[in-house]
Structure 1
Amino acid sequence: MSYAATVYLGIGSNVDRERHVLAALNALAERYELIGVSSVYESESVGFDGSPFYNMVVGIRTEESIATLSRFLKALEVENGRRPGMPKFSPRTLDLDILTYDDRVGVIDGVELPRGEILTNAFVLRPLAEIAPAVLHPEKKVAYQQLWAEYTGDQKLWPIPFRWQGRAISPRP
């Protein structure tokens, strides 16, 4: 019998944002069991002067290894116009990040788990706290809802109206 991991993924785009976020949602829903979809948040660019981003977090269940999942996400980014080797702080057609993979900790198959941005970026922590409020951060052992309540950063973000598969997914009631 195989084991399905619970994984949280970050989705971001600041180039043709709606099209690329929808493409990511559709591809993920086709391949994985979605267990949570956050609101879509608009936020200012962090680390560079660029167009605002759309960001969200989705939860999936998968039997794929971290390496296989990572390869799929990188291929999906490229399929959506992302050019490998671009500077870290630059415009993105699509940015897909593995935030957590169950309670795994460390660098596994080249993926940092849990992803450090969870604790430093509002555009990651707020949507994660929205869909997984009681889930504990694998290292801190504190619920995401509590981590968000204690967040002191000054990043600005706001939920925006967003529709997927014919229904409003954002903002959440």
Structure 2
Amino acid sequence: MVTTAHDTGRTAAGEAARERALAAAAAVADPELPMLTLADLGILRGVDLDEDGTVQVWITPTYSGCPALTEMRADVDRAVRAAGVDRVRVRTALSPAWTTDWITGEGRRKLAEHGISPPGQAPRRAPGPVPLTLLPTRTAPRCPLCGAADTEELSRFGATSCKSLHRCRSCLEPFEHVKEI
């Protein structure tokens, strides 16, 4: 997570405001996965202090069309203002694109604890255009409830676009899996 302050805007009061903003933004719950914070998901990218003392909070959505982005921005703004920071601007950074590799170990633990299979490592791609492949690219996730590897995909889309729906063939329980991106 990037946490910078421009030298011209760095004062003790400005740095204290930036630190309060960082702590407040890091604690904001994701609207679609409320057991996780924006920091757990790697959505919180950083907090800057502008020359005029405005705190800028940078977030990166899980994908560019994420319907929760408006709610995340509003929640971050409310939380930072509640922490006593009056001059705040929530900004969106689309580059680099978010990846499931940014989910913290704590975030992965919380997902599994809540019955959602955490993602594996995101696919590695060379720079440039995304290649089209007609071969299967999906892997079967382990069941977050019993740990079995014998699972099947029921639907490529779960309650949100970033999750798929699976069933464990061992314990027969359904579960969601966060897709690797």
Tell whether the structures are fold-level matches, with TM greater than 0.5: no
Q: Which has the higher contact order (CA 8 A, sep 6+)?
A: 1
TM-score normalized with structure 1 length? 0.29
Larger radius of gyration: 2
Structure with bigger strand share is: 1
